[in-house]
Amino acid sequence: MFGVTKVSNAAFENYSVAGSARFENISCTNRLTCSGSLEIDSSKLNDVISSGTAHLTRSNAKTIRSSGSLEITDCGSIGSVKAAGSAEISGCQEIDEIIASGGFVLTASKVNRKAVLSGHEARISDSRIADLECANRSVNISNSSVGRIVVKPVFNTVSYLGWAISSANPPQTVELSGNNCRADSVVFNDGIRDGIVILKDGALVGTVQGGRVVRE
């Protein structure tokens, strides 16, 4: 059984480790690959690939890909982020693009291009996102600035007599709250039976297409 590989104060072009690993104050100019859980602190990286959970702190990276859940905290510049599981990101100066397939939490961070999300729930606070594309049952945004929000339908799949039957799962909501919260537009795509934008505590939305607005 593999233990935890620990590497600190090192520089290399490529590094591959089987099992779990922890890196601190390293530089990797090409690719860092880990087959288990991965922790990285205070490092400068190019391409990071983790087959398990990954936690990146106080670091910069061009791309991060995780087959499990992903946590990014207090980082500088991050390029593309792809998480097959849930993603929790906080205190990041800038991220170009985020793709997350599980639950999603974004706090005090800036996304320059877009975030593409799917899963049960997404929570965004004190952040800026250029464009948001989501297939979530609920999206809660507070004290944040978002450009265009595109909501895609969520489908439930059940098996009946050997057949897979999919049906839309209404309603899908986008909740905006706080005086400093605004979305330029919200678009509910075809297939969403009941798309609702909820505005709370002075939040604003420019236009809503394919859904309705509820002010609380």
Q: State pLDDT tens for residues 17-73.
A: 999 999 999 999 999 999 999 999 999 999 999 999 999 999 999 999 999 999 999
- Its sign, for the CA torsion 44, 46, 52, 53, is positive
Q: Is the pLDDT of residue 213 over 60?
A: yes
Residue 171: the pLDDT is 77
Q: State pLDDT tens for residues 151-207.
A: 998 866 555 556 655 555 657 899 999 999 999 999 999 888 889 999 999 999 999
Count up the domains in the chain and report the number: 1
Q: State pLDDT tens for residues 16-25.
A: 999 999 999 9
Give the list of residues 6+ apart from residue 200 with CB closer than 8 angstroms, or none: 175, 176, 177, 178, 215, 216
182-188 and 4-17 beta bridge pairing: unpaired
Residue 1: the pLDDT is 41
User: Region 126-147: what's the mean pLDDT?
Assistant: 95
Cβ–Cβ contacts within 10 Å for residue 207, how many?
11
3-state helix, strand, coil in the chain (%, to 5): 0, 70, 30
Q: Is the pLDDT of residue 103 over 50?
A: yes
Query: Which 3 state secondary structure label does DSSP give 128?
Result: strand
Cβ–Cβ contacts within 10 Å for residue 32, how many?
27
- Its sign, for the CA torsion 33, 51, 118, 110, is negative
CB 42 within 8 A of CB 57: yes
Residue 77: the pLDDT is 95
Residue 150: the pLDDT is 96
Q: How confident is the model at residue 121 (pLDDT cuts 50, 70, 90)?
A: confident
Give me the domain span that covers residue 13: 4-215
Residue 119: the pLDDT is 80
